[in-house]
Each structure stands twice: as C-alpha cells, then as structure tokens.
Structure 1
Amino acid sequence: MRTTKSIYITLFVTIGLFLSSCENLIEVNENPNSPENVSSNFILTYVLTNTGKVVYSLGKDGSKIGAAMQYMQAGTNEGATVINQYAWTQESWSSYYDYLRNNQLVYENGVRDNNRFFQAISLTMKSYLFGLMTDLYGDIPYSDALKANTGLYFPKYDAQANVYKGILADLKEASSLLSSLEAKDAVSATADVMYKGDGAKWKKFANSLRLRYALRLADKKAEMTALGVNLDTEFKEASTLAFASNADNAAMQFLGTTPDNSNPGGLLNAANPNLLLKPGKTLVDKLVTLNDPRLQRWTNPVQRKWDANVKVVTTKTVTNIFGENFSVVYVPAVASSADTSLYVGLPIGMSVTSAISYNKGNDVATYINERNPYISYIHDRYRKNTDPYAPMDLMSYSEVEFILSEAASLGIFGATDAEGHYKNAIHASMDKAGVFTASSFNFDTYYGQNDVSYTGASNKQERILEQKWISSWFGIQSWFDWRRTGYPTLKTGALAQYGPALPIRYIYPTANLDPSYIVNYNEAVDKLVSTNYVPSGQSKDHHYSKMWLLQGTNKPW
C-alpha cells in the first residue's frame, strides 16, 4: 500500500466541498497548516463522505450488484453486457485503501491526543471498510495492509476468517471506548457529517455492525469458535446496543452544490439525464402485486401506457400516492402481449436489441434508444444533485430489525419475537421512504396480505429475506444476504454469460507484476474454490468462485 502523504491535496479539496466552515476545526493541532499534523476533524470528513460515495456507487448508478439483485437493468448498449449479462471484470480497491490510510491517521491522532472518540470512530470505519472489502473479494490484505511507511509495500492476504475476527474485535473495542467518553473526548459536529459528534449514535452503529457480521458468519460458527470468536456472545451483547429507530441510521445526504458532493446521477455530474437504467421487472412486478407504495418513491410511471379501455390516444395527468404529477399518454392496446401496467420494469438479461424495443408493440415511431416510453424510468430523484430520499446509506435500523427477525426465526443467538422484528423492519423501511406522508396508505392493510405477513409464509426465512431485499432497494446488503441464504430466489436471463446463476464475488484487481505481490496474490487465489460456472482453464480468481465464507455451505447454489 502507498504512503499516507500522497493524498492530502485531494483530501483538502474534497473536505472543503463538504464543510461550510472550518474555523472551529483547526484547534486540534498546534500547526493546522502542516500535513504532518492535519486535524483529525478534516480527515474524518474525508473518510466518511468518500466511504458514503463508494457504497452508494456500489449499489446504484448502474452497478453490478444493483443489476445482480435485479433492482435495475441497462436498457441500451452502454454497459449492458456487464450489467445485464454479468460479464464482470476486475474492480480496483485502491480507493478503499486510500480511505483506510486516512482513517488510520484519525486513530493514531486519537491515541496521541488520548481522544477515545476519534479512536472509536476510526475503529468503526476501519471495520466497515475492511468488512466491505472481504465481503466483496474474500481474502484481502488486512493485518499488514497499512504499513507502507515501514517499507512493507506488498502485504500478505489475510485469511477471510481472520479478517472477520479482527473486525468483530475492533467493533467491540469501539463500543467499549464509546461507553467511557469524557468531556475531553470531542469530535466536531461539523466534521462528523453523519452523527454530528453524537457518541451514543456511533456506539449504536458499531453494535449494529456486530449484528450484521455475527449473522453473516452464522454458517461458519464452528470455524469462528475455533478462532476464539463466540458469535452467540457477540450477537447477544450487540442486540441490546444497536439501532433503535430510523433516527439512528448511518446515512449522509449529498449536498448537491458541486460535482464532488452531488449524487453521481445528478446534472452536475452528467450533462444529460441518465436514462440508460431501467427498473428491473422482477422488483417492479413484486411491488405492483403487493400494491407497495415504495414503488412510487423509486420509479416513474411509463410515459406511454397500453390500455384496453381507451379508443383513441389520450394524454392524462397521473398523480401518484405522494402527490407527484406525471403526464402519461394512454394508447389503445391491440395485442394481448402488451404490458398494460402503469409501472413497467425491464426484463432481466435481455439483449440490447430486445431491450430497446421491449413492450413497443405495434408502435412504429422511432425513439432514442434509451427513451423507450413503454418502460418506466428510475425515479427522477436519482437524476438530481441531491434528494432526501436518495442518501448515502451505510446501515439502517430496518436492517437491524430484519437481522433480529431472521435470527429469531432460525432459533439462533438467543433471538426472539421473529414476527415483531419483521413487522418493525418493514415499517421502518417504509418510514425511511416517506411512505407515511401519504394519508391514503394503511400499513396494517399492507401487512395483512398473505404474501407479506409473517404468519402467511410457509418458509419464514424466505419471507423475511424477500422483504429485506425490497427494503434494500439499490443497496448492496441484499447481495450478501442472497449469497448466504439463496433468498430471494432470483433467476437470470437467458443471456447470462456464465449462467444460469448470479455472480458471488468480485474479481481481484489486476495483479501487480512484482514477484512479492504475485506470491501473495496466488496464495489467495489458490484458496478460492471454482464452481461449475467457472469455465475450464480459467483462473479461480473468477466471479463465480467461492470464497471461504461460502465454501461448504451449499449456498447460494
């Protein structure tokens, strides 16, 4: 990994865009103009905002994971092969290590200044970033990863089990530090763009992450026990200290004033609105069937709707449950195959030609490829520089409730009241989406549907994971949950490059040719297990190979 000083120019530019004032942030160090002594407040802002952006981009903006979980599909040729057909290639992890190097400075400064708050935040974000990386790739450089200043440029890849062990240990230490804060342990509310210097909320975040990883490792309990990790204790301790409402959510809003602090889909980052991405038919059809109002937060109605009840082409104003108005052209339906829904998703894994013409029927008009009006667009808010319903989410109260519900339903970790937590989780997701601003929506009526209620499900875990998948709209945790459980049961399209199965890991970045790096890389790849979807003769460093977390579990397939 590189030395720490090479990123400071970028660091100061980035955090300057996110801070409205820095006058109260330079008091931490005697010389705030020296990169050697840069304020931890500045660095913290850089770490938080950039972590938020990278997580947002992993799930949204045409991501691999967003497509794999069938939240969206690409409607034209730009990236369609990668997105719709899972032709995944290498992903760089340099940005993760960039943020981790800076985060390490926050920790070191916290130790130097005896500031337990900074130490705890740094340990939490270290756990978050390393946890994300090992979730994506498998074995990763971890214990020796941030030691370039000692001359260690090619760190070993730690075994995934040991990475998780370290993560849980750091989160427990962070929680302990946050339980003993004193007045001197302060973090600027301006610099802490997520929790405004609220130590109680950081403690809840650390413990919520402990829950996430305890459940993720449930099928590896015996192996973690052999490493000295008691998942039962981790889960039980954390469950009483985790998020308790949406007010605790680990989330940040885009400011929307410059390209750097705006939604990547907003006009400050794109001269033309991004209409290439369409909501996936799998999710749209599920939400339509359930009459789920979150559909109307996340997608637009079609611009031209096939309708058997009109005789001539008629333009109408459609008002959704939230009072938003859309102009929709109603067209007489002449074919039984026409999708006459007001909300139409793009089927999974279609060819570019098929996607361009999908649901056009006998309409011979020529439309710009990305603007087929018979398919819904993702909601306009994702083409704005900022929107309250399109934040950078790191973790939510809804996820915590789903974790507690699933553990209770499986009878593990001493968790109880599966239905109560399940119901709370759905309610929290809807509240986060602003559903209850619509007076016409009745939650009890929604929950009472046989396809939603906990008691109506023959497979309780599948029911919980289906709703968790919905609630994770454009997020990444649903992919990790699907890998662990096989739920929801998602089917690929006919053109899936290595199908018929969804990918299960990210491929390591392109290997550095230095012999020391190659040795470490090859050792990590050797521990991967090829599946039947990895073509003969190809490297095990493949997006259909199983990392340690999935080996021996028969999951997700």
Structure 2
Amino acid sequence: MNTIKALRIPLLAVMCLWLSACKEDLTEINQNPNSPENVSSNYILTYSLVNSGKLVFNLGRDGSKIAAAMQYMQAGTNEGAAEKNQYAWVQDGWGGYYDILRNVQIIYDNGVRDDNKLFQGIGLTMKSMLFGLLTDLYGDIPYSEALQASTGSFFPKYDKQADVYKGILTDLKQADQLLQNLTARDVVSATSDVMYKGDAAKWRKFANSLRLRYALRLADKKAEMAALGINLETEFKEAAASAFTSKADDATIAFLGTNSDNAQPGGPLATATPNRLTKPAKPLVDKLLQLNDPRLQRWANPVLRKWDANVKTETTKSVTNLFGETYSVVYVPSVATTADTNLYVGLPVGLPITQGIVYNKGNDVAVYPNERNPYISLTHDRYRNNNDPYVAMNFMNYPEVEFILAEAALLGGFGATDAEDHYKKAVQASMDKEGALAATGFKFDTYYAQPGVNYASAANKQERILEQKWISSWFSIQSWFDWRRTGYPALKTGPVAQFGAALPIRYMYPTPNLDPKYIANYNEAVERLGNTNFIPSGQSKDHHYAKMWLVQGTSKPW
C-alpha cells in the first residue's frame, strides 16, 4: 500500500505537466519530429549527394552495360556477359532516381520556406542533373507531375522529352540567378555538403556547366527548342561565362573507403570477391597504345604472360610503368604470328564465350580459370581497392567543359570561338585529371603533336574532338550520350551482338504498374518512340534500339 501511494504523486505530476503542455498548444501532438519535412536540409543534402554519386558511378563503372557499350571494357565469360557484350539489355528500374529526387525536392522546398537561396540553388541544380540523367537514359519521363504523391498524384504523365529539357534549362538558369545573389543568411553546412563544402560559387559553376552540357546535347533540336521559348545560343553564351575553369571546380565526391557504405563497389569492403571478370576492351587499349597514351597505365594492368619474339625460354621480368608501379611479367617465346605481343592487351568486343576464354592464348596448353587468362590485361588494381585518388563519384569535370566549348566553337552558332585552343586545353586537363602530366618521361607537347591527336591535322575535326573526349570519359556515361548524338567515335559491334551492327541507344522503361492510369501514360510514351530496323518484328517499341525524340530525324547515331 505504501508503495502504491508513493507512485501516485509522480504519476499525477507527469499527468499535470502533460495536460499543461496540451493546454498551451494542442497542435504539437500532430507533429512528427521524424517526418522528412522536419529534418534539416543539411542531413538530406548529404544523403542526396552521396546516393546520387553512387547512382552515377554505378551506371558507368567497370562492369556496367554502358562501359561495355562504349567499349571501355568487356565482361569476359561471367554470367552477365550476354547482357553486356551482346547488348541483351533488359528493363531498368528508376525508383532509386525518384527516391533521391523526392529528397532533393524537400531541400528546395525548405529553402523556399526558410528563404535560403543557397539551398534553393542547390536543390534546382541537383534536380536538373537527375531529371536530365533520366531523360537522357529513357526519353519521355514523369516530370511535371512527378514528386507529387503527397497531393494525391500517384500516376504522373510521361512528359515529352523536349518539355523535360526545357524545364531543366529553365531551372538551371534560375539556379544561376539564385546562387549569384546570396546574403549572409544563405549558408549550408560545410560538413553536410560533401562535394563543395557550402561554396556557393562552385555550385554556381556546376549549374552553368550543366547548362552547357544540355545546350550542346540539343544542338540538332534548336528549332524545336526555340518553339518552346528556349534559345540555345543564349543559354550557352550565358552559361559559358560562369562554368568550370579548372579541376578545382569538378563536381566530384571521393570514396572514403572506411566501411561498405562509403567504399567503392569493387573493393573488399563492398564485395567479397575482387572483380577479375572484366577486361579492358581492345578498341580502347589499341587506341591508347597507338598514341603512346600514359592514361592506359592508369586504367589497365600489364598482362601476366607476354608473348615476345626476343626470348628463347620463359623469362620472368620486373616491369615498372610510367607511374612507378612494378609488376612481375612472364615473357613467353612467341611462335604464332597472330599473337598480340604488347604488354597491354585488350579483349576484343563481343566474342563468343568459347573464343573469349582462349583469346591470345596461342599454343599455351595450360589450363587457366575462365576469367584468369594471363594473356589479357585486367583493369587496373585500383578498381579492386576500397578507395583510390583516381576513382571517384563524378557528376561533371573541367575537361568535359573544355571539350564542350571546343565542339561548340567548331559547330558554330553557340558564341564559342577558337575550337583548337579549347580542344588542347581539354586534352591537357584530362591528362592532368589522371596525374599523367607527371608520368616519367611524358611530355604533353610531344603527345599533342602526333598526327592522331593534333587538331589541325584532323580531316574530321568533330570526330577528333569526340574521340579524345571518349578517351577522357573513361567509365563515364557521358560518352554514350555524345556517341548517340554524333556517331563518334565510330565504334563497331562484335560477332555476337544480338541486333546486328548497332549499339543500343536508350534504356527500356521499368515494368509498368498494372493500374489502368499508369498503363495509359506508359503506352502514350512508348507510342512517341521511333521504330528502327533493329527492333525485331512484333516487339514493343519500348526497346533499347528505339529512337527517343532527341535523335529522331537526325540520322544519328546510325
């Protein structure tokens, strides 16, 4: 009894306090402190940046479909080889993109609520980059009615691609205006902004660099965009004045490599088995060998066994590359005239598995695991580390901006001038990005003077720009979009390509929801896709060889 009486007093006190609090403000009961709209935008920004970075990195990484299509790598003989080497692409989900976009929208909305122009500008920039990526991949996408589930809009229409690009360029222009007119109250936590540490000037450069990217991407659609009120030449001129000017401006996030969440995907923290399934592709390796390009040694390992006509018996040698990295290589007497005797050997594109297993093996009768053919190079060891200074999550970099300015100057009508100067700066900046300017014995002027590099000696100057941009874009998805727009570089399919002599040009939509409204919106978008000769008879136009609006009527890329 005494114990029960003792408990009554504190219980009554708590009840009185609770009732007193309710009397002051009953609305507080309905507020959820864990609700996203009440979370600081600083926390949401970190999540949005890191997850966007992982998403973009995985799209182009060693072993991805786009990396194989752009012939940076081939998938060897592993389980996914058919999808990559034969372009047997399947439907791809986009839920991850829209999950991030919902968070980016909160960042922007909170910025409006709090009158924080920096958060507004960041929100619009990230939103534009992500929606730009979606429409680049798929074509028409849910855009104007997306991110509105809270208002009851569960089945957004698929906006026409032209309208999506218009919205992107409009938002980026608004971001530029917001980011150049800030006050002391417009701040973002430096620790939350894992890319730019709250530096508004760099965010503004990123927004304008994206404007350049999309203005050039729409080069063949100037008239259609003008009809929508977008003058691409004006957009380009305005953006060029405030875009990236050095590698210090790069929109890049490093992998920390301290746990599985922040380590690069190929490292031991993220995967139990180091990736030896993919090989550098022969077209890129041969091009880099032809140009004596030091970037090859950043991206690929030497072969473990090298055919060589100058040895009489197998001889193990220590080989040191231009960056001071040392490898043990067995030199094997060469007997076949077809043997690739280079120290770096790429795997040809699209070989049947039975041929890929034994490629360049010659008369070596030893049995090696399918993915351990020692006569083919592996991608560099850095792609099997938890982190590396030359492997990062990259949204956009300075070399891309200079390549854009070079091509725009060549094409004309964008206000850019001196294509060769921008091209040379782009190639040099790419070398600098990879640390190649410091390679032992490397001289950039000697490299640039080669007929295969020099701008003035090129018969087709656009092809020359795009070839070097392709090299510079190693494991970047932007090279796929550039190739689709221009047809350069002139990449060829291999013998096992599923749909003939053509590379894929789009991602297929995710499997549609069975709700009739969703199906209707999806069908409208599919009907706007263009048929091509590479789509088998009877198959849906929602195909990875269907032409989206961006390349319809252009005869590009094929």
TM-score range, shorter chain: over 0.9
In the alignment, the residues of structure 1 paired with residue 33 and residue 460 of structure 2 have an alpha-carbon distance, to the nearest angstrom, of 58
In the alignment, the residues of structure 2 paired with residue 343 and residue 439 of structure 1 have an alpha-carbon distance, to the nearest angstrom, of 18
Partner of 1:48: 49
- Listed one character per residue, the Cα deviations across residues 80-129 of structure 1 (whole Å, up to 9, x for unaligned) are 00010000000000000000001111011111111000000000000000
Partner of 1:263: 264
Partner of 1:26: none
Partner of 1:309: 310
Are the equivalent residues in 2 in contact too, given 1:56–1:393 (CA < 8 A)? yes
Distance apart, 1:499 and its partner CA: 1.7
Are the equivalent residues in 1 in contact too, given 2:493–2:503 (CA < 8 A)? yes
Cα distance change of structure 1 residues 284 and 40 upon mapping to structure 2, 3 Å threshold? same
Mapped pair 1:510 → 2:539 = no
Partner of 2:321: 320
Are the equivalent residues in 2 in contact too, given 1:32–1:39 (CA < 8 A)? no
Aligned residue pairs: how many? 528
In the alignment, the residues of structure 2 paired with residue 248 and residue 351 of structure 1 have an alpha-carbon distance, to the nearest angstrom, of 43
Partner of 1:243: 244
Partner of 1:61: 62
In the alignment, the residues of structure 1 paired with residue 508 and residue 47 of structure 2 have an alpha-carbon distance, to the nearest angstrom, of 27
State the secondary structure of the residue aligned to 1:406. Answer: helix
- Paired residue type of 1:154: F
Are the equivalent residues in 2 in contact too, given 1:251–1:394 (CA < 8 A)? yes
State the secondary structure of the residue aligned to 2:306. Answer: strand
State the secondary structure of the residue aligned to 1:259. Answer: coil
In the alignment, the residues of structure 2 paired with residue 45 and residue 355 of structure 1 have an alpha-carbon distance, to the nearest angstrom, of 42
Partner of 1:421: 422
In the alignment, the residues of structure 2 paired with residue 134 and residue 262 of structure 1 have an alpha-carbon distance, to the nearest angstrom, of 28
Partner of 1:489: 490
Are the equivalent residues in 2 in contact too, given 1:78–1:276 (CA < 8 A)? no
- Paired residue type of 2:45: L
Partner of 1:134: 135
Distance apart, 1:31 and its partner CA: 9.4
In the alignment, the residues of structure 2 paired with residue 549 and residue 518 of structure 1 have an alpha-carbon distance, to the nearest angstrom, of 23
In the alignment, the residues of structure 2 paired with residue 492 and residue 181 of structure 1 have an alpha-carbon distance, to the nearest angstrom, of 51
Partner of 1:7: none
Partner of 2:435: 434
- Listed one character per residue, the Cα deviations across residues 466-491 of structure 1 (whole Å, up to 9, x for unaligned) are 00000000100000000000000000
Distance apart, 1:78 and its partner CA: 1.8
- Paired residue type of 2:157: K
State the secondary structure of the residue aligned to 1:328. Answer: strand
Distance apart, 1:411 and its partner CA: 1.6
In the alignment, the residues of structure 1 paired with residue 222 and residue 449 of structure 2 have an alpha-carbon distance, to the nearest angstrom, of 35
Partner of 1:201: 202
What pairs up with 1:19-418 in 2 under 5 angstroms?
35-418=36-419
The runs of 5 or more residues in structure 2 that have no matched partner are 1-30
Distance apart, 1:439 and its partner CA: 4.0
Distance apart, 1:412 and its partner CA: 2.3
- Listed one character per residue, the Cα deviations across residues 438-495 of structure 1 (whole Å, up to 9, x for unaligned) are 2411000000000000001010000000000000001000000000000000000011
Partner of 2:532: 531
- Paired residue type of 1:392: M
Are the equivalent residues in 2 in contact too, given 1:61–1:264 (CA < 8 A)? no
Are the equivalent residues in 1 in contact too, given 2:527–2:541 (CA < 8 A)? yes
In the alignment, the residues of structure 2 paired with residue 407 and residue 435 of structure 1 have an alpha-carbon distance, to the nearest angstrom, of 26
Are the equivalent residues in 2 in contact too, given 1:244–1:397 (CA < 8 A)? yes
- Paired residue type of 1:424: K
Are the equivalent residues in 1 in contact too, given 2:78–2:371 (CA < 8 A)? no
In the alignment, the residues of structure 1 paired with residue 78 and residue 273 of structure 2 have an alpha-carbon distance, to the nearest angstrom, of 17
In the alignment, the residues of structure 1 paired with residue 193 and residue 33 of structure 2 have an alpha-carbon distance, to the nearest angstrom, of 18
- Listed one character per residue, the Cα deviations across residues 515-542 of structure 1 (whole Å, up to 9, x for unaligned) are 0100000000000011000011100000
- Paired residue type of 2:117: R
Partner of 1:543: 544
Distance apart, 1:437 and its partner CA: 2.3
Partner of 2:7: none
Are the equivalent residues in 1 in contact too, given 2:352–2:495 (CA < 8 A)? no
In the alignment, the residues of structure 2 paired with residue 35 and residue 297 of structure 1 have an alpha-carbon distance, to the nearest angstrom, of 42
CA RMSD in angstroms, aligned pairs only: 1.0
The runs of 5 or more residues in structure 1 that have no matched partner are 1-29
Are the equivalent residues in 2 in contact too, given 1:205–1:243 (CA < 8 A)? yes
Distance apart, 1:32 and its partner CA: 6.8
In the alignment, the residues of structure 2 paired with residue 72 and residue 35 of structure 1 have an alpha-carbon distance, to the nearest angstrom, of 41
In the alignment, the residues of structure 2 paired with residue 209 and residue 371 of structure 1 have an alpha-carbon distance, to the nearest angstrom, of 41
TM-score by length of 2: 0.94
Distance apart, 1:352 and its partner CA: 1.3
Are the equivalent residues in 2 in contact too, given 1:75–1:355 (CA < 8 A)? yes
In the alignment, the residues of structure 2 paired with residue 54 and residue 34 of structure 1 have an alpha-carbon distance, to the nearest angstrom, of 25
State the secondary structure of the residue aligned to 1:318. Answer: strand
Distance apart, 1:35 and its partner CA: 4.0
- Listed one character per residue, the Cα deviations across residues 372-427 of structure 1 (whole Å, up to 9, x for unaligned) are 10000000001111101001110010000000000111122121010000000001
- Listed one character per residue, the Cα deviations across residues 142-201 of structure 1 (whole Å, up to 9, x for unaligned) are 001000001111100000000000000000000100001111111111110111110000
Larger radius of gyration: 2
State the secondary structure of the residue aligned to 2:63. Answer: coil
**Aligned-residue identity in percent:** 72
In the alignment, the residues of structure 2 paired with residue 515 and residue 348 of structure 1 have an alpha-carbon distance, to the nearest angstrom, of 42
- Paired residue type of 2:321: N
In the alignment, the residues of structure 2 paired with residue 410 and residue 229 of structure 1 have an alpha-carbon distance, to the nearest angstrom, of 19
TM-score by length of 1: 0.94
